[in-house]
Amino acid sequence: MNTPPLAPGAADGVVDVDVVVIGAGFAGLYAVHRAVQRGHRTLGVEAGAGVGGTWYWNRYPGARCDVESIDYSYSFDPDLEQEWTWSERYATQPEILSYLEHAADRYDLRRHYRFGERVVAAEFDDVASRWTVRTDAGTVARCQWLFCATGSLSAPNRPDIPGLDDFAGDVVMTAAWPEEGYDVTDKRVGVIGTGSSGIQSIPVLARDAARLTVFQRTPNYSVPAFNRPLTEEEQKEARRTYRERRALSFAGGAGTPHQPYPRPIWEVDEEERRQAFEARWREGGVLFAKTFVDQTIDERINDLAREFVEEKVRAIVRDPQVADDLLPDDHPIGTKRICTDSDYFETFNRDNVELVNLRRDPIQTITGWGVKTEDSSYELDVLVLATGFDAMTGAMTRMDIQGPRGGTMEQAWASGPITFLGVAVPGFPNLFTITGPGSPSVLANMVLAAEQQVDWLLDLVDHCRAEGHATVEARADAARAWTDHVDEVANGTLFVRADSWYRGANIDGKARVFMPYIGGFHTYIARCEESKDLGYAGFVMGS
Ligand code: FAD
Ligand code: NAP
């Protein structure tokens, strides 16, 4: 039974607490831990049956992080850093999940949670200054402060492909992979989607499947992870230098200690430029997007980076037509998240793997036996949907969140999310979003980003309490100005040239607005501190 002991006042069936935290991923667990530590009666609610968030749901073969694990981990407790051992540069999903389970046990967090319950609605009572939160299991909770740690990539996108429901085989989603696992051995497998999830899973699925057909609508840039076990020496070194590493991460643009090449590209000759790209390529993955300063701002630099990667891919893939099909031509490199793979391009040299270019031969319909494209038919036993997420806003707008002056979050964000500092939304007092739109979020190391926001928000709550304020709300003008600033900074980069999920472009009908703050993690932290130093400028408090 998972009734939280710190959720008193349930006489009328209503759980009465100070803080409700929705979500038990990196952000939610940290929020619950810190809220309890600060003496708030706290209830956590999580739709999944356990902790982990992203790492609970995305159990597909090949799933691992693309930020090195020694960085992609909690920084708040040096003891935790010292006692945990990451076995590889980029840990697998099971290892990250066991890390989060360890954290949940170490800080005794599970007892505050109700698992397996999805929050379906929340409404704010202006008179009592409290949120009433309702779950699909019938729990009703009242709280003063509502922390939405609901995830930026947690609302899976099931594509609207004609006939999908008629498929007689199994349909599995990477974003909701069966907990008990799913064995593709000797099966004819089709994968729809070639983003990070598809690109990580395809090589692993190909090893076991009888046949693997990859249905690709848009190719993505991918750089090999060069993943490997960490040596004992490296683990020791990481433990020894953790404090400096974290300091660099918090002072960096993307929440990791890595810096771009120390010299501007135009000051180095061709040989040095090549070596710099080669060194970054060998470091692996997303870091390649930032080899040189301004690589995602100046198209000429971007073109050089792109050409380098294209050459690498063409050297791996044996069939030149397949190589052509696997190379993007619709966006500057790095303006969609570069995927981090292990043997992705090599997989297309296997005899049991086929690439279907949906731009040339679109899916007509899915039938009981498989996929029918305009020119061909593919008989399948399993269809894997690696089709992404309603990113950044989906988890919030899928709940019926009602503000006190009428209107839902979905309505408030219909033309794109509007926030102040990515943490608060005008019209929704005492509600906070963690790593949501308007914050560095998905463009930073999300673990550190969550820590920073949770600490800052709990300071805000303590400030309100100390000053006798029952409510705090983002001012409409401050939120407009911040959201315009987020847009303006993005417009100064090449990111706005990509039809990415950063811009809502993967979901039909969604507003095309660049959602994360691209001005840098360190700059963002400074903006938050500035507001705090000015007595939380940008917010209005009420008694
Ligand atoms: P999540 O981990 O998404 O947790 C949110 C939780 O809220 C979920 O468990 C969800 O069930 C729950 N929830 C949502 N709505 C409700 C509701 N209405 N009621 C109850 N519960 C609800 N980021 C990086 O920085 N580095 C990486 O290497 C990296 N790798 C990734 C790999 C994958 C496969 C994916 C999908 C994302 C990856 N990300 C990565 C982004 C990742 O989402 C974040 O790093 C981080 O795990 C987010 O933590 P979170 O707690 O904010 O959200
Ligand atoms: P994604 O990047 O949005 O990719 C979804 C894929 O599905 C795209 O190729 C898309 O094609 C395709 N698709 C969607 N609907 C389709 C349809 N109707 N028909 C055909 N194809 C369709 O999603 P994701 O791969 O899950 O990754 C999302 C983000 O999660 C990543 O960018 C990353 O931030 C994070 N992530 C990280 C890792 C990691 O390496 N650690 C792993 C997984 C995820 P179009 O582009 O044509 O729409």
CB 223 within 8 A of CB 284: yes
Which residues does residue 382 pair with via DSSP β-bridges, in sequence order? Answer: 170, 189
- Lowest mean pLDDT segment, chosen from 9-13, 284-288, 341-345: 9-13
DSSP helix/strand/coil, 82: helix
State the pLDDT at residue 13.
Answer: 79
Q: How far apart are the first and last CA of the chain?
A: 37
Tokens 């983002």 found at:
474
Residue 499 neighbours by CB under 8 Å, 6+ apart: 218, 330, 331, 505, 506
Does the C-beta of 192 come closer than 6 Å to ligand 2?
A: yes
Q: Using an 8 Å Cβ cutoff, are 9 and 16 in contact?
A: yes
* Test site for ligand 1: of 43, 74, 153, most ligand atoms within 8 A of the Cβ: 153
Going by pLDDT thresholds of 50, 70 and 90, the confidence category of residue 133 is very high
* Ligand 2 contacts CB of residue 435 (under 6 A): no
Q: Tell whether ligand 2 has an atom less than 6 A from the beta carbon of residue 348.
A: no
CA distance 437 to 421: 9
The minimum-distance atom of ligand 2 relative to the CA of 196 is 25
Judge contact between 122 and 262, C-beta under 8 A. no
Output the six-digit token pair for 495. 């990111």
Q: Cα separations (Å) of 72 from 148, 242, 404, 452, 498?
A: 21, 12, 38, 14, 26
Which is the closest atom of ligand 2 to the Cα of 442? 34
Average pLDDT, the chain: 96
Distance CA 141, CA 147 (A): 13
- Show the DSSP H helices in 146-214 as ranges: 196-208
Does the beta carbon of 99 sit less than 6 angstroms from any atom of ligand 1?
A: no
Q: Give the tens place of pLDDT for each residue, 438-453.
A: 999 999 999 999 999 9
| CA 64 – ligand 2 centroid, Å | 15
* Mean pLDDT in residue range 485-510: 98
Tokens, residue 363: 């899916």
Measure the CA–CA gap between 283 and 281, rounded to whole angstroms. 5
Ligand approaching nearest to the C-alpha of 58: 1
435 Cβ below 6 A of ligand 1: yes
CB 512 within 8 A of CB 537: no
8 A C-beta contact, residue 93 and residue 55: yes
Give the model's pLDDT for residue 543.
84
Q: What is the pLDDT of residue 309?
A: 97
Q: What is the DSSP letter of 124?
A: E
DSSP string, 450-478: HHHHHHHHHHHHHHHHHHT-SEEEE-HHH
Q: What is the pTM of this model?
A: 0.97
Q: List the domains of the chain with CATH numbers.
A: 14-51+109-155+391-535 (3.50.50.60), 196-385 (no CATH)
Query: Where do the H-state alpha helices sit in 183-231?
Result: 196-208
Interatomic CA distance for residues 498 and 333, integer angstroms: 9
> DSSP letters of 349-406?
TSTTEEEEETTTS-EEEE-SSEEEESS-EEE-SEEEE---B-TTTHHHHTSEEE-TTS
**Which ligand 1 atom is the nearest neighbour of the CA of 29?**
51
The helix/strand/coil state of 171 is strand
Which residue owns the Cα nearest ligand 1 atom 12? 23
State how far the Cα of 348 lies from the Cα of 384, in Å rounded to an integer: 17
Of the candidates 54, 58, 94, 44, the one whose C-alpha atom is nearest the C-alpha of residue 395 is 54
Is the CB of residue 66 below 6 angstroms from any atom belonging to ligand 2? yes
Q: Which residue intervals of 129-253 are DSSP H helices?
A: 196-208, 232-251
Instruction: State which H helix or E strand residue 540 sits in.
Output: strand 539-542
Q: What is the pLDDT of residue 6?
A: 42
For tokens 């903006």, name the residue: 527
Closest CA to 309 of 338, 337, 330: 338
- Beta strand 19-22 with 42-46 is parallel
- Contact yes or no for 199/339 (Cβ under 8 A): yes
Please state, as a whole number, how many other Cβ atoms lie within 10 Å of the Cβ of residue 319: 12
Task: Kindly report, residue by residue over 84-132, the tens digit of the pLDDT.
Answer: 999 999 999 999 999 999 999 999 999 999 999 999 999 999 999 999 9
Report residue 425's pLDDT band, with 50, 70 and 90 as the boundaries: very high
pLDDT at residue 11, as a whole number? 52
Looking at the DSSP assignment, which residues form a beta bridge with residue 140?
14, 134
Nearest ligand to the C-alpha atom of residue 444? 1
Ligand 1 centre and the CA of 188: distance in Å? Answer: 30
Name the percent of the chain lying above pLDDT 90. Answer: 97
Of the pLDDT bands very low, low, confident and very high (cuts 50, 70, 90), residue 8 is very low
| Structural contact between residues 28 and 128, judged by C-beta atoms closer than 8 angstroms | no
CA of 43, nearest ligand number: 1
Cα of 54 to ligand 1 centre, how many Å?
4
The number of the ligand 1 atom at minimal distance from the alpha carbon of 435 is 52
Q: Does 24 contact ligand 1 (Cβ within 6 A)? A: yes
Pocket test for ligand 2, best of 68, 217, 341, 364 (most atoms within 8 A of CB): 217
Ligand closest in space to the Cα of 55: 1
| Residue pair 297/305 in contact by the 8 Å Cβ criterion | no
The candidate with the shortest Cα–Cα distance to 363, out of 177, 167, 199, is: 167
What confidence tier does 395 reach under pLDDT thresholds 50, 70, 90?
Answer: very high
Q: What is the rounded average pLDDT of the residues 51-56? A: 98
Q: What is the mean pLDDT of residues 298-302?
A: 98
pLDDT of 3 = 41
Centroid of ligand 1 to alpha carbon of 152 (angstroms): 6
Is the separation of the CB atoms in 187 and 471 below 8 Å?
Answer: no
Q: Is the CB of 387 under 6 A from ligand 2?
A: yes
Q: Does ligand 2 lie within 6 Å of residue 200's CB atom?
A: yes
Closest ligand (CA of 201)? 2
d(CA 374, CA 361): 6
Average pLDDT on 361-387 reads: 98
pLDDT digits (tens, 9 = 90+) for 462-497: 999 999 999 999 999 999 999 999 999 999 999 999
Evaluate whether 498 touches 331 at the Cβ level (below 8 Å). yes
- pLDDT, residue 10, reads 56
Q: Which secondary structure element, helix H or strand E, spans residue 224, and what is its range? A: strand 222-224
Strand partners, 371: 366, 378
Q: Is the pLDDT of residue 2 over 50?
A: no
Q: Kindly report the CA angle at 238 between 236 and 243, in degrees rounded to 5?
A: 125
> From the CB of 214, is ligand 2 less than 6 Å away?
no
Mean pLDDT calculated for residue range 385-409: 97
Q: Answer whether residue 12 shows pLDDT above 90.
A: no
State pLDDT tens for residues 231-284: 999 999 999 999 999 999 999 999 999 999 999 999 999 999 999 999 999 999
Reported confidence tier of residue 137, pLDDT bands at 50, 70, 90? very high
DSSP string, 525-539: HHHHHHHHHTTSTTE
Total residue length of the chain: 543
Please give the distance of CA 354 from its chain centroid, rounded to a whole number: 29
